[in-house]
Amino acid sequence: MPHEDSRLRVRRQDGIIRVEFIDRNILDEANIQQIGEEISQIIDAETNPRLLISFANVDHLSSAALGTLITINNRIKAKSGQLRLSDIDPQIYEVFVITRLNKIFNIHEDESQAIASFQ
Amino acid sequence: MPDLPDPSDTSPDRATLDVRNREDEVDRLRSTLEEVLVRHGYSSASVFAVRLAMEEAVSNAFRHGHAQCPEDPIHVEFVVDSSRVTVSVEDRGRGFDPGAVPDPTHDENLDKPSGRGLLLIRAYMSDMRFNDRGNRVEMEYRRPGRG
């Protein structure tokens, strides 16, 4: 059930759930919590979730947002699902490198590459 | 875009703000700092760095420092001139020992959802120090190429 004031755009295609953020800045704690809840609901409704999160619209994110992504990743792994990230701005990608989270996330340059990587 | 000084404005900008954990107040803090950085000719990479560091310090102050007093404001000060930016964030909590925070880049901590704020501040700012109590962080960003 989507939130009335959803902070996400969600599309389903060929068994893959594609998620985009509406906000350019993923900073506010309450918004991050809502994003986490919305994506968790999507994951919980799937048997083997295949989720692609695009950062195409995102200019800024905080470590709290990274924490939510880790929680989402753990949740998907627990359901034997797959998570892909794509379209990350170079400045934001550097944050993933500094935190070494580029080692635990499956990150692709764009959506088409990410979609092709699903097994 | 290179970091170029704005010859028309070399005087420092200062701000002292008490900020509550409300989206509009934190947004105002972000936009105030960003406007001042742009006015002093800081590049988008510099603005990204300072803004991210401030964001993490503010988030830590509310999340940890004010866990028991969520309605209280934190105290933020910044000074920006053509060569450096200093930002301090103080909360009313008991403080903490920054040396006791586990390294979030160790393999065993990578899938833990929290504990990355200080790492990012250290990575993006030139200097970071806490007061003895551990409830006030002062961060300095030195403009690249200005020593």
**Is A3 a domain residue?**
no
Q: Quick one: closest CA in B to A97, which residue? A: B105
Chain A nearest C-alpha distance from B57 (Å): 11
**Is A2 a domain residue?**
no
Average pLDDT, chain B: 91
Residue B22 sits at the vertex; the CA angle it makes with A93 and B133, to the nearest 5 degrees, is 80
Query: Do the Cβ atoms of B56 and A73 come within 8 Å?
Result: no
Identify the weakest region by mean pLDDT among B3-7, B44-48, B120-124. Answer: B3-7
**Is A52 a domain residue?**
yes
The predicted structure's pLDDT at residue A3: 62
The predicted structure's pLDDT at residue A6: 87
Give the model confidence (pLDDT) of B107-133 as tens digits.
Answer: 999 999 999 999 999 999 999 999 999
Give the model's confidence band at B1: pLDDT under 50 very low, under 70 low, under 90 confident, else very high.
very low
Q: Quick one: closest CA in B to A92, which residue? A: B48
On the question of pLDDT at B97 being above 90, the answer is yes
**Is A60 a domain residue?**
yes
Q: What ipTM score was computed for the predicted complex, to two decimals?
A: 0.91
Instruction: Tell me the H-state helices in B1-147.
Output: 23-39, 44-60, 117-124
Domain range for residue A76? 8-117
On the question of pLDDT at B7 being above 80, the answer is no
The predicted structure's pLDDT at residue B146: 67
User: Per-residue pLDDT for chain A (119 aa), expressed as one digit of tens each?
Assistant: 556 688 899 999 999 999 999 989 998 888 899 999 999 999 999 999 999 999 998 999 999 999 999 999 999 999 999 999 999 999 999 999 999 999 999 999 999 999 999 98
- A95: nearest Cα among B94, B39, B120, B83: B120
Number of structural domains chain A divides into: 1
**Is A13 a domain residue?**
yes
User: pLDDT > 90: what percent of chain B?
Assistant: 88
Query: Do the Cβ atoms of A98 and B123 come within 8 Å?
Result: yes
Q: Quick one: closest CA in B to A29, which residue? A: B59
The predicted structure's pLDDT at residue A29: 85
Chain B residues whose C-beta is within 8 A of a chain A C-beta are 21, 23, 26, 30, 44-45, 48, 51-52, 55-56, 59, 62-63, 104-105, 110-114, 116-117, 119-120, 123
**Is A1 a domain residue?**
no
What is the distance between the alpha carbons of residues A102 and B107, in angstroms, rounded to a whole number?
12
Chain B positions in Cβ-Cβ contact with residue A70 (cut-off 8 Å): 111-113
On the question of pLDDT at B2 being above 80, the answer is no
Q: Quick one: closest CA in B to A67, which residue? A: B113
**A5-34 burial string, b = 16+ CB within 10 Å, else e?**
eeebeeeeeeebbbbbbebebbbbbebbeb
What is the distance between the alpha carbons of residues B107 and A113, in angstroms, rounded to a whole number?
27
CATH topology assigned to domain B13-142: Heat Shock Protein 90 (3.30.565)
On the question of pLDDT at B44 being above 50, the answer is yes
Give the model confidence (pLDDT) of B58-91 as tens digits.
Answer: 999 999 999 999 999 999 999 999 999 999 999 9
Chain A nearest C-alpha distance from B122 (Å): 10
What is the distance between the alpha carbons of residues B135 and B95, in angstroms, rounded to a whole number?
4
From the list B45, B52, B110, which residue is nearest A101 (CB)?
Answer: B110
Residue A101 sits at the vertex; the CA angle it makes with A97 and A3, to the nearest 5 degrees, is 120
CATH classification of the domain holding A25: 3.30.750.24
Specify the DSSP element, H or E, that contains A67.
helix A63-78
Q: What is the dihedral of CA B62, B66, B72, B74, to 10 degrees?
A: -50
The predicted structure's pLDDT at residue B137: 98
Residue A98 burial by CB count (10 A; 0-12/13-18/19+): exposed, middle or buried?
Answer: middle
User: pLDDT > 70: what percent of chain B?
Assistant: 91
Q: What are phi and psi of A13, to 5 degrees?
A: -155, 125
Query: Do the Cβ atoms of B23 and A30 come within 8 Å?
Result: yes
Q: How large is the angle between the packed helices A63-78 and A29-44, nearest 10 degrees? A: 10
Q: Which one is predicted more confidently, B131 or B11?
A: B131
The predicted structure's pLDDT at residue B147: 53
- Residue A110 — left, alpha, or beta (φ > 0 → left; ψ -120 to 50 → alpha)? beta
